Amino acid sequence: AAARTELRVVDVVADPGIGKSRLLHEFSNRMSTEEVIVLSGNCSPSGKETPFLPFIEVVRGAFLLNAGEAPDVVAAKLETGLKSLGRNAAEDLGLVLNLLGLTPPERSLVGLDGLLIGLRTRDLLLSLLAARAAMSPLALLIEDLHWIDSASEELVDKIVRDDANLKALVLLTYRPEYRPAWAPCANVTELPLEPLPALQVRRIVAARLGVAEVPDALAKAIADRADGNALFAEEIVAFLVERDALRVTGGTVGFEESRVAAALPSSVESLLAARVDQLFPAQRALLQAASAIGRRFDPGVLATVTGRNDTEVALAEIASLGLVRASETGGDYEFKHTLVRDALYQSLLSEPRAALHEKVAAEIEARNHNRLAEAAEDLAYHYRRTDRFDKAFAFSAMAASKSLGLYALEEADPHFAAALALLDRLPDCASDEQVADLLADFTHYANLVIRLRTILDVMTRLGPRLDRLGDHPAVVQARHQHALALIWSGRYAEARKAQAALLAMASRLGDARSVAYALLSEIHVTTIVAPYSSEAFEELTERALTAARPLNDSYLQNFLRFVISWEHLHRGWMDRAKIIADEAIADGRRRDDPRSLGFGLDLKAWIANICDDPQEGMSLSEAAVRLARTPFDRLTAQAALTFAEVLLRRPRAYERARDLFQDRANAGDHWRKNSIEGGLGIAMVLRGDIAQGLKRIEKSAADRERDGYHRMSIWLWLLSADVQNDILASPERPP
């Protein structure tokens, strides 16, 4: 009752087989009689690479979407449902369709990059749940959080901490080894399910056998072996019946104690393996094929994979054995427990297993021929377990791009890794154009998470494929990110050479997007290694802004502002840098774009630090750190914050500067390492290590001069002079 007016969260925690799913099943049945809307989502081992998987199931349930429905039918249902929830903007429809892997309406997501789409998708999902809960009592059930994807975990965390203002009952199940980010939390009641006592096991045995009484010796033997595990107890009974170790006649159980003792398996895994071995060959083959599909499976897919036209009848027969059951939603079947599915799957030899995966993948692909992105993760999963390396690459790349487009970076990572590994193993599994498309996405992703060495390594290995392809928009995108990675890695001469080739290619292609991205990296690279004259820089800036303006590309516009303002800082044009930073802040607030807002705050923080206002610099950079949504943004803001803390002589400022410097040096991130090295030298001076502090600043200046970053070298020499002047002007030595 309280959940009708406030948030209530219950964490159901138990080992496999204790009864988490059974508890939620009984709860759902009870709620359906009390006019409570129950929305549920499941996590799975293979679903950890699918962003928002349980929430996709929640959306499908909330909007009554059925498997295999045509995209226009899905769109119509969503549009009607969104309007009923007070969300009728074209962007909302586009976000939900994009989440489902379907094509959003034209221009519904215009101006949004993957980061903004991902953030707004997260906000929309929470808003939809809150709106649905406001209409009628709502229970949200998410099962098996030990397999949850990180994007969904982030949403659950917001719900649990009541950031979503959701008035509902939320039930979450997971195994004890999972440690939720929200624990402990005042909103949460933890409900650990303990192993069942012997009396409860006895009742399970009686119910399974359909009798009123169970002989004491039999009840004790099963209870001792099951050790309180409900699944194990049920499976033991089924196993003993199948082995004819016990019989039920006229409501009475007959058994031989010695025979039961000899037949009892040592573990639930060995029991399930034995039950699989006892199936008729046709039953075992059918369930093995189903196990290749997953814990939940479509009988239609199974029929095609096995070539049987009696699948439904056969499954109904097998259901009586307690191994599978009809799903509560839709026409699917599911294994009674994931351990049942695992036992069947592990009984397959490698070649038959791969053949089944290929058949499953082919059927899923055929069923989703006009919406492959919707099934990309499933197709990647199955094809990666076959020798269809071309398909495995294509769908791994598609799944990676899809995750990147939802700003689900952790989910994108294994798909990128799989695609790159396939290229290393069998280069001919993809065309040069496919490689270029992959690298355009991968280098963007890797720069967001600052994996600079990985970019350089991958581009060294696969760069010749891009050269062979020649002028192509995807090559421009990959080379653009590569040039940035080179400059941030301190490989300035290589960056300049790569940038010159990139600019020439973009000019030959002539399309606005290629030109705009090439000009963006031209500004950033030349800021470091080959500054333009003031007039030439003004002309370059105008060309870049003109090319970017009609594209409505938020990533491009945000980063373009950043690199232009960064150049202004290098030229000492503080007022002009501040104007651009203010524009970024205003635009970020207007468009609800935390990246634009964060970039603006970070730039103003550096301006404040340079202009001897570290208090303002600290305040601004703290706000930028809070807003940061990518590792790139967070560490960029952290460098400004650390510099301000050093200037303000904050406690442990030296240690934080030292640790950040070392961390960035270890990562090969010279751009942020260089930005903090002067601050580290100042921190050493302020803690009394004057000679070593000055030596560090001056060594850094000499290193930057040698590397070719002359502007940074000059700034560091000036910093050294300022520090020495301050020391001479001070009436006492620094503490």
- CA–CA separation, 576 vs 568, rounded Å? 7
What is the average pLDDT score of the chain?
Answer: 92
Q: Is residue 222 within a helix (H) or strand (E), and if so which, with residue range?
A: helix 216-226
* pLDDT for 403: 97
**pLDDT (mean) for 452-461:** 98
- CA–CA separation, 7 vs 138, rounded Å? 10
**Claim to verify: residue 256 and residue 322 sit in the same structural domain:** no
Q: Are 609 and 647 in contact (CB under 8 A)?
A: yes
Query: How many angstroms separate the Cα of 599 from the Cα of each of 117, 564, 588, 605, 644?
Result: 18, 12, 9, 10, 17
* pLDDT for 330: 66
The answer to whether residue 407 sits within a structural domain is no
* pLDDT for 674: 92
- CA–CA separation, 232 vs 300, rounded Å? 30
The answer to whether residue 532 sits within a structural domain is no
**Claim to verify: residue 344 and residue 243 sit in the same structural domain:** no
Q: For 29-75, what is each residue's pLDDT tens digit?
A: 787 767 889 999 999 988 899 999 999 999 999 999 988 889 999 99
The closest of 723, 703, 654 to 683, measured between CA atoms, is: 654
Contacts of 56 (CB under 8 A, 6+ apart): 41, 50, 99, 100
* pLDDT for 23: 85
**pLDDT (mean) for 284-313:** 94
Evaluate if residue 3 carries a pLDDT over 70. no
**Claim to verify: residue 257 and residue 145 sit in the same structural domain:** no
* pLDDT for 285: 95
Contacts of 647 (CB under 8 A, 6+ apart): 609, 614, 617, 679, 682
Q: How many structural domains are present in the chain?
A: 4
* pLDDT for 234: 86
* pLDDT for 2: 55
**Claim to verify: residue 28 and residue 134 sit in the same structural domain:** yes
The answer to whether residue 117 sits within a structural domain is yes
The answer to whether residue 425 sits within a structural domain is no
Q: Is 734 helix (H, G, I), strand (E, B) or coil?
A: coil
Contacts of 551 (CB under 8 A, 6+ apart): 512, 513, 516
pLDDT interval class at 1 (50, 70, 90): low
What CATH number has the domain bearing residue 184? 3.40.50
CA 141 to centroid of chain Cα atoms: 21
**Claim to verify: residue 214 and residue 186 sit in the same structural domain:** no
The answer to whether residue 602 sits within a structural domain is no
The answer to whether residue 103 sits within a structural domain is yes
**Claim to verify: residue 233 and residue 285 sit in the same structural domain:** no
**Claim to verify: residue 152 and residue 202 sit in the same structural domain:** no
* pLDDT for 733: 57
Evaluate if residue 329 carries a pLDDT over 70. no
pLDDT interval class at 586 (50, 70, 90): very high
**pLDDT (mean) for 235-258:** 85
**Claim to verify: residue 54 and residue 67 sit in the same structural domain:** yes
Contacts of 475 (CB under 8 A, 6+ apart): 436, 440, 466, 469, 505
- CA–CA separation, 433 vs 468, rounded Å? 10
Evaluate if residue 283 carries a pLDDT over 70. yes
What CATH number has the domain bearing residue 313? 1.10.10.10
Around Cβ 428, how many Cβ atoms within 10 Å? Answer: 8
**pLDDT (mean) for 620-639:** 96
- CA–CA separation, 702 vs 696, rounded Å? 10
* pLDDT for 443: 98
Query: How many angstroms separate the Cα of 461 from the Cα of each of 412, 423, 457, 458?
Result: 21, 10, 6, 5
- CA–CA separation, 625 vs 639, rounded Å? 10
Place of tokens 């707004």: 120
Q: Are 416 and 448 in contact (CB under 8 A)?
A: no
Q: Which of 192, 216, 235 is the last residue of a domain?
A: 192
Place of tokens 């607030």: 589
Q: Which of 152, 176, 192 is the last residue of a domain?
A: 192
Q: For 644-667, what is each residue's pLDDT tens digit?
A: 999 999 999 999 999 999 999 999
Evaluate if residue 274 carries a pLDDT over 70. yes
| Residue range of the domain that includes 238 | 198-274
Contacts of 236 (CB under 8 A, 6+ apart): 222, 225, 226, 264, 265, 271
* pLDDT for 4: 67
The answer to whether residue 243 sits within a structural domain is yes
Q: Is 191 helix (H, G, I), strand (E, B) or coil?
A: strand
Q: For 672-717, what is each residue's pLDDT tens digit?
A: 999 999 999 999 999 989 999 999 999 999 999 999 999 999 989 9
Q: Are 446 and 439 in contact (CB under 8 A)?
A: no
The closest of 277, 267, 392 to 339, measured between CA atoms, is: 267
**Claim to verify: residue 204 and residue 157 sit in the same structural domain:** no
Q: Is 408 helix (H, G, I), strand (E, B) or coil?
A: coil
Q: Which of 311, 326, 348 is the last residue of a domain?
A: 348
**Claim to verify: residue 16 and residue 131 sit in the same structural domain:** yes
- CA–CA separation, 647 vs 582, rounded Å? 24
The closest of 351, 425, 365 to 393, measured between CA atoms, is: 425
* pLDDT for 240: 87
Beta strand pairing call for 169-174 and 138-143: parallel
- CA–CA separation, 634 vs 239, rounded Å? 56
- CA–CA separation, 622 vs 216, rounded Å? 68
- CA–CA separation, 560 vs 191, rounded Å? 51
Q: For 181-224, what is each residue's pLDDT tens digit?
A: 887 787 888 999 888 899 988 998 899 899 989 889 888 888 88
Q: For 107-139, what is each residue's pLDDT tens digit?
A: 899 989 999 999 999 999 999 999 999 999 999
**Claim to verify: residue 10 and residue 99 sit in the same structural domain:** yes
The answer to whether residue 464 sits within a structural domain is no
Query: How many angstroms separate the Cα of 7 from the Cα of each of 447, 462, 574, 656?
Result: 39, 51, 49, 39
Q: Are 648 and 615 in contact (CB under 8 A)?
A: yes
- CA–CA separation, 347 vs 272, rounded Å? 11
**Claim to verify: residue 112 and residue 241 sit in the same structural domain:** no
